[in-house]
Structure 1
Amino acid sequence: MSIRRSFIAGALLAASLACYVNAAASEHDRASAGILTAGHIEEQLQECPIVQDLNAQKIASNPSTGSLTSRIFGVLFPGSPAVNALLATLYISGPPNFLLALCPPNIDPSSLSVMVAFAVGGLMGDTLFHLLPEIFLGEDEVDKVKFVLVEPNKNLLLGVAIMVGFMTFVAMDKALRIATGGQDPHDHSHGHNHSSEKKDEDSTATSSSVDKPDTSNVQSRKPTSSAVQQAYPPPKEEPSTSVKLGGYLNLIADFTHNITDGLALSSSFYASPTIGATTTVAVFFHEIPHEVGDFALLVQSGFSKRAAMGAQFVTAVGAFLGTVIGIAVQEIGGSSSGVLADTDGPGLLGTSLRWGDMLLPFTAGTFLYVGTVAVIPEMLETGPKKAEETRKTLTQFVAIAAGAGIMLA
């Protein structure tokens, strides 16, 4: 039985190679006319009898009805790649910002560590399970088999785009740290600093009250201290200039970060509906703790709750701006799977890549930075209580596994 299967596999391989050679020969004739493209090779391969048999077998082996997630994605994203990208941007920008109305203004961003870990699992899972395989190998199709054409310089260009995306965020983060005097504008640990300062003030107030003489006989003719505080509330302590600057710089960083989210959504939907949908899920789960953390930072920088919410809605415009830019690049610059790729001849450095194909690896590089350098250092911060930190670490790892598991499913 194993010999027979090996013989069948060898025959299929030989037939596929013969089809590929014939397709390449046909493309050689096209090359003389200057219209050699990978799309034409794929068309020629699909005309081979053995490939058509493989397509029929694939259709027969696949279920006739899609999975539940596929049907849900079909309802949420029913239009063209451009329309779906705009809908996805609305989904990831609206609900997380409306949730801020339910957040207390004194929320401690460090309490979001489990949610942040869940978002890291989603971002890294989407990057490793979906984006990178799609970038280098392409997306599988339900009704036909696909072949990967290895082109000189193609993988190098894709790798360069990934690195450019990663280093772009490195440069942005470094510039913001320089502007804030070496502090991370996304640092969520200053909530502890405020609480410690409050404790110091309380202890100072307690010690000063001990030194005061006993005036209990006078207090009977005066209102109590709590009544005085209610009638004359203490003035709100004004944040320092550096804290205010950090809040405004955080808005700039958030706006820029949202632009890259929009680029990611547009490029992923032009790659395939599945990649677009899973990227939307990953960005959505990342946006919730991100928006809540930035909201708390703005409040601590002197913003009122309403002003902080309004500022977060303004930064959400960056996501729509990034989406529109991504759509324009895809429509004008084309992609290796689009119509322009079949009519404009060879692309970048003689490959089938178009400028639109550079967006997806660029955003994969930004996802790698956000999921590793920008977030994991916060997760590595450890307190002195070993038992508590051990439980916290285990919870974070479970959250990461859950986020990655959703992307894997």
Structure 2
Amino acid sequence: MLTSTGASSRQNMAQTAMAHATATAAGPGHSLTDDLPGLQAVAAFIASEQAHVWLLSLVGSVAVGLSGILPLLVIPIEAGAALKTEAGCQKLKQLLSFAIGGLLGDVFLHLLPEAWALAGSSGSKHKHYKTQGWWVIVGLLAFLVLEKMFPDRDSHEDPTPDSDLNSNTPAQPNSVFGEKAVVSLRNGNHAESWKSSKQQSLQERSGKIKTSGYLNLLANCIDNFTHGLAVAGSFLVSKKVGCLTTFAILLHEIPHEVGDFAILLRAGFDRWSAARMQLFTALVGVLGACFALCTQSPKGTENATAWILPFTSGGFLYIALVNVMPDLLQETSLRHTLVQILLIGCGVGVMALLSAIVD
């Protein structure tokens, strides 16, 4: 009897110990969940539809922004050095011609029609059309003021390459080649000194960035912000609308970014610096998407886009017609002029074709 009683007592103690150990092991896990309700909220958010909208919107805006580095596949690696030669200058003017056509097509066939469509959905259409017209003028004047505030101080010192090369008289001391070229010419080393002085002047000018390059980056930042608004606002409506909107923006952006790349090269950026700047402007598109997602209202994004689109249009018009077009007006060759006009038409035609496909 004593033996059986002791065995039963030991069995009960063992069962009690096992139950206590099980409760101890399970206790911290249960209390951890109770003490950290934030983990449950994060898990619920990740599994929610809202998280999917955030993810798709950010991925779409990043994809649109990364289209800015696609010109690296089009423009060769040696473009930085080749664009400083006479043949390279002609190629750059051809790219700039396409850029002018792309900017004009983007403004009149994409940005302004989209702004007019937003105004057409409201009550008083005439008032909103006039307001958007004012925003275009404000964009033009804003970019004019910015360029006046930060002028290119040495732009008046740039010589005309043809006149310098065809001249048989020694360079003046105040020319871009400097006094060293005059001294070497007097010593009889005409060819070598002239070539070295010209290379030195090209290196000095290539190291200076024109204001037009920064204005183009500013316009791209504003444009990418509107793209982020459009992508996120469309995903707030539905996934299908968001995917279609992202695809439409990508179609418009690819030829537009090639033109922007040419404008940055003209302003003095090298190939890789231009790509880095394009990536920087892509981050502004992500900010636009985050702004739209935080407002959680497609109507709010439409109200912001209604004035940002015409303002951006004014900036693009200023860059195309004031900054870039004067370079083409200096062309004297009839053949090169016809090629440039043809490329301007190609830029407009590409934008028109993409607008027809998207619509």
Same fold (TM over 0.5): yes
> Is residue 397 of structure 1 aligned with residue 345 of structure 2?
yes
Aligned-pair identity in percent equals: 7
> Is residue 96 of structure 1 aligned with residue 96 of structure 2?
no
> Could you say which residue in structure 2 is the equivalent of 1:256?
218
> Could you say which residue in structure 2 is the equivalent of 1:364?
309
- Any idea what the Cα deviations from partners look like across 1:54-80, whole Å, max 9, x if unmatched? xxxxxxxxxxxxxxxxxxxxxxxxx72
Counterpart code for 1:125: L
Query: Residue 204 of structure 1: which of 169, 173, 198 is its match?
Result: 169
> Is residue 172 of structure 1 aligned with residue 143 of structure 2?
yes
> Could you say which residue in structure 2 is the equivalent of 1:112?
95
Answer whether contact 2:72 2:271 (CA < 8 A) is retained: yes
Q: Tell me, what secondary structure is at the counterpart of 2:230?
A: helix
Q: How much does 1:263 deviate?
A: 0.8
Structure-1 separation of matches of 2:342 and 2:203 = 37
> Could you say which residue in structure 2 is the equivalent of 1:218?
none
Paired residues for 1:158-197 under 5 Å: 160=131, 163-164=134-135, 167-168=138-139, 170-180=141-151, 193-196=159-162
- Any idea what the Cα deviations from partners look like across 1:88-134, whole Å, max 9, x if unmatched? 111x22212453624224132323244124413541322255x2354
Answer whether contact 2:227 2:249 (CA < 8 A) is retained: yes
> Is residue 85 of structure 1 aligned with residue 98 of structure 2?
no
Counterpart code for 2:110: D
Q: Which has the higher helix share?
A: 2
> Could you say which residue in structure 1 is the equivalent of 2:37?
none
Query: Residue 328 of structure 1: which of 287, 290, 294 is its match?
Result: 290
Paired residues for 1:288-299 under 5 Å: 288-298=258-268
Q: Tell me, what secondary structure is at the counterpart of 2:318?
A: coil
Answer whether contact 1:121 1:401 (CA < 8 A) is retained: no
Structure-1 separation of matches of 2:140 and 2:105 = 19
Structure-2 separation of matches of 1:117 and 1:172 = 17
Q: Tell me, what secondary structure is at the counterpart of 2:200?
A: coil
Counterpart code for 1:288: V
> Is residue 237 of structure 1 aligned with residue 200 of structure 2?
yes
User: Aligned in 2, Cα 1:357/1:112: closer, same or farther, shift over 3 Å?
Assistant: same
**Structural RMSD (CA):** 4.4
User: Aligned in 2, Cα 1:110/1:366: closer, same or farther, shift over 3 Å?
Assistant: farther
Structure-2 separation of matches of 1:294 and 1:321 = 18
TM-score by length of 1: 0.52
Q: How many residues align?
A: 270
Structure-1 separation of matches of 2:157 and 2:251 = 30
Answer whether contact 1:258 1:315 (CA < 8 A) is retained: no
Structure-2 separation of matches of 1:182 and 1:234 = 21
User: Aligned in 2, Cα 1:262/1:283: closer, same or farther, shift over 3 Å?
Assistant: same
Unpaired runs of 5+ in structure 2? Answer: 1-54, 172-181, 235-240
Q: How much does 1:334 deviate?
A: 3.4
User: Aligned in 2, Cα 1:275/1:362: closer, same or farther, shift over 3 Å?
Assistant: farther
Answer whether contact 1:247 1:298 (CA < 8 A) is retained: yes
Paired residues for 1:8-407 under 5 Å: 80-90=56-66, 92-97=67-72, 99=75, 101-103=77-79, 104-106=82-84, 107-108=88-89, 109-120=92-103, 122-123=105-106, 124-129=108-113, 131-132=114-115, 134-137=117-120, 150-151=122-123, 156=127, 160=131, 163-164=134-135, 167-168=138-139, 170-180=141-151, 193-196=159-162, 198-199=164-165, 203-204=168-169, 236-238=199-201, 247=209, 249-269=211-231, 270-271=233-234, 272-273=241-242, 274-298=244-268, 308-335=270-297, 337=298, 353-354=299-300, 356-376=301-321, 378=325, 381=329, 389=337, 392-393=340-341, 396-407=344-355
Counterpart code for 1:401: G
Structure-1 separation of matches of 2:294 and 2:137 = 25
Q: How much does 1:382 deviate?
A: 6.9
Structure-2 separation of matches of 1:267 and 1:278 = 14
Q: How much does 1:294 deviate?
A: 1.9
Q: Tell me, what secondary structure is at the counterpart of 2:306?
A: helix
Structure-1 separation of matches of 2:271 and 2:341 = 31
User: Aligned in 2, Cα 1:244/1:114: closer, same or farther, shift over 3 Å?
Assistant: closer
Q: Tell me, what secondary structure is at the counterpart of 2:59?
A: helix
Structure-1 separation of matches of 2:213 and 2:345 = 30
Counterpart code for 1:286: H
Q: How much does 1:392 deviate?
A: 4.7
Q: How much does 1:156 deviate?
A: 4.9
Q: How much does 1:180 deviate?
A: 1.0
Answer whether contact 1:262 1:323 (CA < 8 A) is retained: yes
Answer whether contact 2:213 2:263 (CA < 8 A) is retained: no
Structure-1 separation of matches of 2:142 and 2:208 = 17
User: Aligned in 2, Cα 1:168/1:287: closer, same or farther, shift over 3 Å?
Assistant: same
Structure-1 separation of matches of 2:203 and 2:339 = 36
Structure-1 separation of matches of 2:352 and 2:157 = 29
Structure-1 separation of matches of 2:69 and 2:338 = 35
